[in-house]
Amino acid sequence: MRNEIFLAMMRGRTTESLDGAVKKVFGDMANIGGTGPTVYLMPSAAYTVPISD
7 is a domain residue: no
31 is a domain residue: yes
Model's pTM, two decimal places?
0.49
* 18 sits in which H/E element: helix 18-31
Those residues whose C-beta lies under 8 Å from the C-beta of residue 37, and which sit 6 or more positions away, are 25, 26, 29, 51
pLDDT in tens, 2-52: 777 877 787 777 788 888 888 888 888 889 888 766 666 666 655 555 555
Q: Report which residue type is found at 50.
A: P
Number of domains in the chain: 1
21 is a domain residue: yes
- What pLDDT is recorded for position 28? 84
50 is a domain residue: no
Domain housing 33: 16-43
8 is a domain residue: no
29 is a domain residue: yes
